[in-house]
Structure 1
Amino acid sequence: MLPVARAAAALGRDIVRARAPLSVTAKGDRDMVTDVDLAVEDAVRAFLTRETPEIGILGEEHGHSGAADGSLWWALDPVDGTANLARGIPLCAVSLALVDGLRGVLAAIELPFLDVGYSAAEGRGAYAGDERIKVSEVADLPAAMISVGDFALGESAEAEAKNRVRLALLGSLGARAQRIRMIGTAAIDLAWVAQGRLDATVILSNQPWDTMAGVLLVREAGGVVLDRDGTDHTAGSAATIAMAPGLRAQLMESLGSCHAVA
């Protein structure tokens, strides 16, 4: 199945490379979709439906389709980092995972403008191209490069409460970590943790199409991925916190204190 996942992600990569966005449509408050997102999802869905008709698909733009009675399903983000793509910022990804129940078992992520693809299969390691990758050995926050996910959107009280936690987190980690980055795509956040370019990422949300491929990459590269409460991350988690193993205690302590303050 891994060659199928790689081919599907590569199909999406080629579409992103071949065409600039011509239209940007609002999906919600400060949330957007471009014609490229839709073209990639349509093409990858058609490919997966043809190659694996027995497996359902959950995509960001068109929801669920296909078989609904099996434990296996594809999680697809046609363009993770749409806001970056729409502005000409070359940090975006095509992200595809095969999920068994709530656990990712295959991953393929393509970075169209950085000319690299990542893949992983459960129990078989994580790769950037043909090179096996592993998480960093950093074990102290003052030496850690950490990325933080986007702020919650919307004008609701729930979004405001979520963003108070994010602001507290930025203050806490900004005072302790070596550097903080906000890249704008969960797939790259997670792939770079797996590759050791980042030492951790804190994404205080979880959409399966955004995270499931990257979560498997991090785990297969020797990293730890947890939910906000410290339990192992699954497709049903509330947050996605990935890190080198040596940072687990310090990072989760910082996160816990931020929730308490907010």
Structure 2
Amino acid sequence: MADVGGAAFADLLPVAREATAIARGIVRKHAPRTVAEKGERDIVTDVDLAVEDTVRAFLARETPKTGVLGEEHGRTGGADGEPWWVLDPVDGTANLACGIPLCAVSLGLVWERRAVVAAIDLPFLDTAYTATEGAGAFCDGERIRASGQSAISHAVVSVGDFAVGEGADAKNRVRLDLLGRLGARVRRIRMLGTAAIDLAWTAHGKLDAAVILANRPWDTAAGVLLVREAGGAVLDRDGSPHSVDSAATIAVAPGLRDQLMAEVERAYGAE
């Protein structure tokens, strides 16, 4: 299949919207009953599993030839060279398990290493974000745009969670250095605990930037498309354009790009 662009996949946006709407119903109606450890300081609840199972079944009916990569069950179906869905059934599981209403269902369609369709639902905030490549980003049907902020001293910046597992100490030294640098310059720093909301709110101009020094496609693919379609930039740690293969996910209002990336570069240079 040639790289025909996001417009060719626009008819799959209603599928993505319906899938995340179904997921919203599950998250809102069923508080977590079980919480299990799946890795170092990494948890999964019965709600995560129920959402992923239900959305996978829905996508299998609606798009049977399209594979799915989900956080909980990995990648299934599809063929090499074809588009594939990426799903985070609950981004912000730790928040959900604690009763904090900041979590999201994130679903993107990836083609040629980038998302071309995106749907992010915030179940407890009754908010839905959508985008198709080349057609803009929307919140509940209304067009949204990234912040016009150009003074880093006025910026509100979210940062991603700290690293866990192998190599976490070295990774977190960079995070701590960057926190110190940004804390000395920006208006406020926020740690929301969900990359999907970090990116959706950067697209919506509620945040001026989101710095996530990691890149798991189920967390970031849909939100990256939202930011780009809202006029923001999304970059890897070295300033190159973001893709599903990037090491980091840095979303930023255009007017802050150079200032923010200079601080990221300094933090990595201090390793």
Q: Give the TM-score range, shorter chain.
A: over 0.9
Alpha-carbon separation, structure 1, partners of 2:163 and 2:90? 19
Aligned mates of 1:70, 1:4 — CA distance in 2: 21
Q: Segments of 4+ in structure 1 off by > 6 A? A: none
Structural mapping, 1:100-115, within 5 Å: 100-115=111-126
Written as runs of structure 1 = structure 2, the 5 A alignment for 1:97-176 is 97-154=108-165, 156=166, 158-176=167-185
Secondary structure in 1 aligned to 2:184? helix
Partner residue of 1:56? 67
Q: Which runs of 5+ in 2 are unaligned?
A: 1-11
**What are structure 1's unaligned runs of at least 5 residues?**
none
Aligned length: 260
| Residues 1:45 and 2:64 are matched in the alignment | no
Q: Do the aligned residues in 2 keep the contact of 1:55 with 1:70 (CA within 8 Å)?
A: no
Q: Which amino acid aligns with 2:171?
A: K
Residue equivalent to 2:253:
244
Instruction: Give the counterpart letter for 1:90 in structure 2.
Output: P
Amino acid at match of 1:141: I
What is the root-mean-square deviation in Å for CA atoms of aligned residues?
0.6
Give 1:26 shift: 0.2
**Cα displacement (A) at 1:32:** 0.3
Letter in 2 for 1:203: I
TM-score relative to the length of structure 1: 0.98
Secondary structure of 2:247's match?
A: coil
Tell me which amino acid in the other structure corresponds to 1:230: G
Q: CA deviation at 1:71?
A: 2.4
> Does the aligned pair in 2 maintain the 1:71–1:100 contact within 8 Å?
yes
Report the Cα distance in structure 1 between the residues aligned to 2:142 and 2:169, rounded to whole angstroms.
Answer: 42
- Following the alignment from structure 2 to structure 1, what is the Cα–Cα distance between the partners of residues 194 and 152? 22
What is the CA–CA distance in structure 2 between the aligned matches of 1:146 and 1:88, rounded to whole Å?
Answer: 24
Alignment partners' CA distance in 2, 1:259 and 1:99: 29
Q: Distance in 2 between matches of 1:205 and 1:79?
A: 17
Q: Does the 8 A contact of 1:204 with 1:238 survive in 2?
A: yes
Q: Percent identity?
A: 67
Q: CA deviation at 1:259?
A: 0.8
Check if 1:230 corresponds to 2:239: yes
CA-CA distance at 1:69 after TM superposition:
2.8
The residue that corresponds to 1:188 in the other structure is: 197
Partners in 1 of 2:80 and 2:221 — Cα distance? 20
